Structure 1
């Protein structure tokens, strides 16, 4: 018996849905990481994405107007998104960023799509989700790629201007992550449509978690088709199929809502029982019966690579802006809290990871802008960028502490904190994405021969044995070269190459090359020893995926630093932290992978090939933590670049914090003189900072103009550190209503009104 036939007996078969998922999308620079030779030339050659004139005008016009319309606190306390906001979104074509101009859409680039969604998300997660869903996986994109001409001409212009609101229903109570296991079914049958008997489908479904379903006017629906009577002349089970059903079609049930973490975007259920639809409702027509899963996985890049990562970046930039400004303005024990090392540890982590997130956002959308659909990269982006957003937000909550947990219009973190689990959960839950998709799909797509080998193993062709043997020889040669490359670069550092023109980048590039060289033989040995069981060894495969992911992040950081940063001296602490953290995580993943590999002999070989004999990994120094924390509290172009998605609106929490931050920087030199004077001759009784300033002005230590600037700063500081306050019945009070004596005055007015 041949080697191929022996393997065919022991390897589990690949299902149709698995095969279609593996075949979907393109490979990109992640392939070079997997193969042990990161392609830095390809990285640096990626066309630089920038907003076009139309895209910038949209940002400065409709997006800015939308931000000024949104009161996220009021929205969270209500039941519905205001109709005027929904009308504004439709009128200004927010739902049509991916729809071609010939159909009335905006046809924006992936980079612009990401920037717009992230900017909105920094203000309101609910509105961002409302905008992103029609521009992600759903009726619009499916129609563009697979719809008939008649379907495109009818639906796309209506979707572009918000005349129709779309939703797409895939998840059911019985099938979430296992989307291929949906029980929703359609039976090929004959029925009445427009007064005629036609062949169509009798569809029954029960779906949940469907965003925009409660307000949708057109329902995208995924279900399995069966033809028990053979009306189509083929087999019985025809596979997953996608169709579009108008809301007013008889039998369609829409309107019920879920309540996702108190975020007021519309999310709910849809059901139908024995609903007859004509074949014309199928996206692409009858010929696309059974192609639904292929259609879905091939279009998944927008949601995974653009929208959800954008929310992670928005969360991080909001966290960085809020935490850095608060750490500088808020004082305890006579010092800004950002001077304390415990705060600096959190603040530096926020700043470094925000740099990394923005770098990954830009690179990923640049790849999508090239027309690629890199399924592995978008899975990396979805998982790691939403997880990093959660890490950063948690640190920001720790820094702002009591201020962060008091809800109200001035709280810039609470909305994002509540929305975070949503991005973590949707478009493939993060546990699924990390443990099954990144390396599982990455190995099959990025290995130069593995997919071909697996296809040949399961092939029934007569010449499959000979072809398999050829591919096997190539695979063995590839693996031997990987092992030698890893061995040489692990023990002979001078062989590690670097091509960057910047001396501060070259050592990092060398480490990327060395770690990538280690990944290749680890993956080869895992596949050789565990075979199909590697799919079940989720903890192991997840760690290999982590190595790929963190090296992708490190490459993104290099590209961003080299091509997007104008003042590299100011940005260097951000860059150093971002790339050191990424490489540290990759090293840790390798150590943990080898330590937990189940085969002792193979584990020893892995240690030898990668020079991994200890559990130690490189760390980030306290010096860098302090340097970056202090840098993040400065009002620099780099901080502005890393918080550009947060657009303060006059009077909102970000505006209040920013005004205090800038005011303190403007009077920093005066504050030093005031503190020195007060130490030399304390004002007794101190009473307040205002009183002390008045005393110092009387003594001529500060001028009237200087005192005025300091008083202005102090008022802005007090407003920035205050938290929202409410009456006993939770009616919001203005800042003026919360000064000492204001409550007594209100109570007196109430008593007088009652007496009258």
Structure 2
């Protein structure tokens, strides 16, 4: 079976590729090394309607699906992973609001999120609740028409630039798990940043730990059914953005290695003419294609509502993120000594790629998801 993008999807891909070449690639190194948030780049994407890519047209978005999300995030991440991450995290929050929020809440926030006037962040993971989200300690107690929320969140990417955070808290007894967690859309100004993480990758979209005590949230800011937030989250497949980011890095590393192999000469010939380098480039190309196909298959399954979409996304995440690390490492080797300097982007590819193996859940957890799916397949 041949999988091909539609004409509209290819047109979208080419539009973003041109944007990356003209607006992102020239500033990526400066943004990364200065740890500067890419607001100008994201505003330019907003002008093109990309910050509302998956938001329904009724709310000012483009109404695209997971395949289009994967295509756009790959292209942006090939220029700079932080930009792909910022867009995907923002759209992930919008998707939860659109799918599970009340009519009033959707009408209130989605149009401004599509315009990027309101920027979203995710507040889910805690110090003792990483892969095991049910272990979260943040709790919300109802008082009249409000909820009083206290706790912390360990990894809130983009919180200093965001306007609202999708915050998860326990609202029911432990015995009811996983149907004891609710989600709330809260202003980020109500969250106190108590630690900025000095990460080695994703420099332009920093992550922080936040705390909050006796945070009062109106009942109408609850997103979805009370106690069902984790269950509802499992019905979405926005996680396809993670392998898409990795595909972008893997492809950028390959392109950088090819360019350098063609221009760098040793022993009176370009190093790309040595068989060892050629074989390395061929292996890198295979990794990119396999990662992209797995990612697009998972995105297509999500768009079709395929029950296997979750396992396919996990498979794509494992393969693509590890392909990105391997390609970035190989690209550094092709570059030799200069690959270990900040003069070339391959060191950034390596740092950003390694982040993706743990972001969105460590790869071994995703391997468990794939293994569970394999073991549940009935035998003939």
The reply to whether TM is greater than 0.5 is: yes
1:534-558 C-alpha deviation (Å, 9 max, x unpaired): xxxxxxxxxxxxxxxxxxxxxxxxx
Find the residue that maps to 1:245 and give its secondary structure.
strand
Q: Taking structure 1 as reference, are residues 237 and 200 closer, same or farther at Cα in structure 2, changes over 3 Å only? A: farther
Find the partner of 1:310 among 235, 244, 247.
Answer: 244
1:365 aligns with 2:299: yes
Q: Map 1:45-60 to 2 at 5 A.
A: 49-52=6-9, 55=12, 58-59=15-16
Residue aligning to 1:174: 128
Find the partner of 1:280 among 211, 216, 220.
Answer: 220
Q: CA deviation at 1:256?
A: 5.2
Residue aligning to 2:51: 95
Residue aligning to 1:333: 267
Find the residue that maps to 2:198 and give its secondary structure.
coil
Instruction: Tell me, in whole angstroms, the C-alpha distance in 2 between the residues paired with 1:398 and 1:54.
Output: 35
1:132-185 C-alpha deviation (Å, 9 max, x unpaired): 21123x2x1111111111111111101110111111111111111111111111
Q: CA deviation at 1:58?
A: 4.3
Residue aligning to 2:371: 439
Residue aligning to 2:171: 225
Q: Taking structure 1 as reference, are residues 276 and 379 closer, same or farther at Cα in structure 2, changes over 3 Å only? A: same
Residue aligning to 1:134: 90
Q: CA deviation at 1:425?
A: 0.9
Q: Taking structure 1 as reference, are residues 386 and 56 closer, same or farther at Cα in structure 2, changes over 3 Å only? A: closer
| Unmatched runs of 5 consecutive residues or more in structure 2 | none
Query: Which of the two has greater strand per residue?
Result: 2
Q: Map 1:684-723 to 2 at 5 A.
A: none
- Higher CA-based Rg: 1
Find the residue that maps to 1:122 and give its secondary structure.
helix
Residue aligning to 2:66: 110
Residue aligning to 1:524: none
Q: Taking structure 1 as reference, are residues 279 and 406 closer, same or farther at Cα in structure 2, changes over 3 Å only? A: same
Q: CA deviation at 1:352?
A: 2.1
Q: CA deviation at 1:401?
A: 1.1
Residue aligning to 1:730: none
Residue aligning to 2:348: 415
Find the partner of 2:363 among 430, 436, 448.
Answer: 430
1:12-58 C-alpha deviation (Å, 9 max, x unpaired): xxxxxxxxxxxxxxxxxxxxxxxxxxxxxxxx287754434873674
Q: Taking structure 1 as reference, are residues 383 and 49 closer, same or farther at Cα in structure 2, changes over 3 Å only? A: farther
| Unmatched runs of 5 consecutive residues or more in structure 1 | 1-43, 191-197, 229-234, 449-477, 482-756
Q: Map 1:163-562 to 2 at 5 A.
A: 163-188=117-142, 190=143, 198-226=144-172, 239-248=180-189, 251-254=190-193, 257-262=196-201, 263-284=203-224, 288-299=225-236, 301-303=237-239, 305=240, 307-372=241-306, 374-408=309-343, 411-434=344-367, 436-444=368-376, 447-448=377-378, 478=379, 481=380
Tell me if the contact between 1:167 and 1:220 (Cα under 8 Å) persists in the aligned partners.
Answer: yes
Residue aligning to 1:645: none
Q: Taking structure 1 as reference, are residues 413 and 53 closer, same or farther at Cα in structure 2, changes over 3 Å only? A: closer
Find the residue that maps to 1:401 and give its secondary structure.
helix
Q: Taking structure 1 as reference, are residues 87 and 255 closer, same or farther at Cα in structure 2, changes over 3 Å only? A: farther
Q: Taking structure 1 as reference, are residues 366 and 349 closer, same or farther at Cα in structure 2, changes over 3 Å only? A: same
Q: Taking structure 1 as reference, are residues 47 and 203 closer, same or farther at Cα in structure 2, changes over 3 Å only? A: same
Instruction: Tell me, in whole angstroms, the C-alpha distance in 2 between the residues paired with 1:426 and 1:167.
Output: 15
Residue aligning to 2:97: 143
Instruction: Tell me, in whole angstroms, the C-alpha distance in 1 between the residues paired with 2:103 and 2:166.
Output: 17
Tell me if the contact between 2:20 and 2:79 (Cα under 8 Å) persists in the aligned partners.
Answer: no
Find the residue that maps to 2:169 and give its secondary structure.
strand
Find the partner of 2:108 among 135, 146, 154.
Answer: 154
1:614-668 C-alpha deviation (Å, 9 max, x unpaired): xxxxxxxxxxxxxxxxxxxxxxxxxxxxxxxxxxxxxxxxxxxxxxxxxxxxxxx
Q: Taking structure 1 as reference, are residues 272 and 135 closer, same or farther at Cα in structure 2, changes over 3 Å only? A: same
Which segment is superposed worse, 123-132 or 332-341? 332-341
Instruction: Tell me, in whole angstroms, the C-alpha distance in 1 between the residues paired with 2:214 and 2:330.
Output: 51
Q: CA deviation at 1:340?
A: 2.8
Tell me if the contact between 1:322 and 1:396 (Cα under 8 Å) persists in the aligned partners.
Answer: yes
1:359-395 C-alpha deviation (Å, 9 max, x unpaired): 3233333333434461110110111111111112211
Q: Taking structure 1 as reference, are residues 403 and 252 closer, same or farther at Cα in structure 2, changes over 3 Å only? A: closer
Q: Taking structure 1 as reference, are residues 50 and 223 closer, same or farther at Cα in structure 2, changes over 3 Å only? A: farther
1:72 aligns with 2:47: no
Instruction: Tell me, in whole angstroms, the C-alpha distance in 2 between the residues paired with 1:50 and 1:82.
Output: 30
Q: Taking structure 1 as reference, are residues 50 and 271 closer, same or farther at Cα in structure 2, changes over 3 Å only? A: farther
TM normalised by structure 2 equals: 0.90
Tell me if the contact between 2:81 and 2:249 (Cα under 8 Å) persists in the aligned partners.
Answer: no
Tell me if the contact between 2:21 and 2:79 (Cα under 8 Å) persists in the aligned partners.
Answer: no
Tell me if the contact between 1:51 and 1:112 (Cα under 8 Å) persists in the aligned partners.
Answer: no
TM normalised by structure 1 equals: 0.47
Q: Calculate the aligned-residue CA RMSD, in Å.
A: 2.7
Q: CA deviation at 1:292?
A: 0.9
Aligned length: 377
Instruction: Tell me, in whole angstroms, the C-alpha distance in 2 between the residues paired with 1:65 and 1:330.
Output: 25
1:67-89 C-alpha deviation (Å, 9 max, x unpaired): 26x51221122242254334334
